[in-house]
Amino acid sequence: MKNRNGNVFSRRDALGTMAACGLSLSMPGMSTQAAAKRSTDRPKSLITLWMNGGMSQLETWDPHPGTPTGGLVKAISTSQKGLQISEFLPQSAEQMHNVTLIRSMTSLEGDHARGAFYVKTGYRLEPTLVYPSLGAIAAHELPDPKVEIPQHVSLGGDNFFPRGGYLGNEWDAFRVFDPGRSLTNLKAGVSESRLALRRTGLDLLSHQFTKRRPTAEKETLHQDNIQRALKMMSSEQIKAFELDDEPAAVQAAYGDSRFGRGCLIARRLAEGGVRAIEVCLNGFDTHVNNHEGQKTQAEILDPAFATLITELRERDLLESTIVLCISEFGRDPRINGAGGRDHWPSWFSCVVAGGGFQAGLVVGETASHVSDDSGQTAGQKARLKPTDPITVPQLYATIMHAMGIGWDDEIITPIGRPIKFADAAPVGRVLQGDLASTIRS
């Protein structure tokens, strides 16, 4: 439904209104003490490590050494008994007892733009509606008024940054292109008195703009963006984007890379209550010389991922933070004539840690050999599936459930279309105990 301003209005908004009016939200059978404890639990944050370009599952999380599809990569043992991953990820191998590894993600989108849209939103690209990314949904549904900096952040950036979609442009990710270096235009560069004069002049111009162009003001979020920017500029919380007070050893552990710095800032942001953070690592589109290309990028991912999981656990943040490492699709099991691997949406891998997901779990299995595709149509190739396949909507419904978001709440978009945040049911078996048992069938 909609609120009186015509904005998207979900069941969560209605519950918040009831709470403000003093109405009881306790479920039947839930004691007052239990309800009070739940209300004081730390809301969960989501850190998405986005492997842009199509990470090869075969050179990272799902190696098949010694097989026709395996290529040159070797497998190494991990901290989880019986589980092996790529030799390119030795530090991550020591953290596999803390994560859920899904080797059977599936998609029907093998194009970068369409694949990225699908994996970031759980819905396929269509011309009539822009769906919100998972991070935008988390920020929208779990707001924290105490946080004065953006609740949805993208670090390292790519062409397919997370959007607010039908929730509104205000839920687009705040983008930081070179994390850990500097945030441009956030310091006035003039005295307080001079800044006050400038703000007075800006207020006058904004008033005239709103008065003469009310529709444009609403569409561009002009005044809202100004107020949010000024609030952020004056907040001490902005220091979460800076690394000056981080020990040199910690910074070195994440790796001296844009991605490494982004992962460290992601930890700082989650620690400060920011709801959704994406950290992007580019360079996985290896149609040529796949082995070396994937190795180079995996060596950037490895220390950052391992240190992030370690620090979240040591700071008692892992249970309140979900870490998702995923790509828009995988790479073809067949090696092409240029020594590369082409796009492969039929199966790929992702890793989920923390936030109620089972630790040390491996889901799915993929083929060690795929024959030549002569005579196969694109549709026949797309139908090739791994064992125990899991779709993106299933994964995102599961993450939303773990975060306490009503994944199946029906909302009405601004164009009057009823829709759910996730078009699938959660995958209960990847969640811990009581959390899994609460899923509606």
Contact 90, 74 (CB under 8 A): no
Per-residue pLDDT of the chain (441 residues; tens, 9 = 90+): 433 334 454 444 443 433 333 333 333 333 334 333 333 467 899 999 999 999 999 999 999 999 989 999 999 999 999 999 999 999 999 999 999 999 999 998 999 999 999 999 999 999 989 999 999 999 999 999 999 999 999 999 867 889 999 999 999 999 999 998 867 666 666 777 776 777 777 777 777 777 777 776 566 666 666 666 666 666 788 999 999 999 999 999 999 999 999 999 999 999 999 999 999 999 999 999 999 999 999 999 999 999 999 999 999 999 999 999 999 999 999 999 999 999 999 999 999 999 999 999 999 999 887 765 544 444 445 456 799 999 999 999 999 999 999 999 888 988 899 999 999 999 999 999 999 988 864
3-class DSSP assignment, residue 335: coil
Distance CA 85, CA 339 (A): 21
Instruction: Identify the CATH assignment for 11-22+41-180+258-437 out of 3.40.50.1820, 3.40.50.720, 3.40.720.10, 3.40.50.970.
Output: 3.40.720.10
Distance CA 278, CA 225 (A): 21
Contact 274, 174 (CB under 8 A): no
What dihedral angle (degrees, nearest 10) is formed by the CA atoms of 86, 88, 93, 94? 160
CB proximity list for 272: less than 8 A, separation 6 or greater: 147, 149, 237, 240
- Residue from 150, 177, 164, 59 nearest 120 by CA: 164
Strand partners, 276: 46, 152
In the chain, domain spans: 11-22+41-180+258-437, 184-241
205 by Cβ neighbours in 10 Å (0-12 / 13-18 / 19+) ranks as: exposed
Q: Tell me which amino acid residue 72 is.
A: L
CB proximity list for 37: less than 8 A, separation 6 or greater: none
Strand partners, 50: 280, 326
Contact 75, 85 (CB under 8 A): yes
CB proximity list for 440: less than 8 A, separation 6 or greater: 408, 425
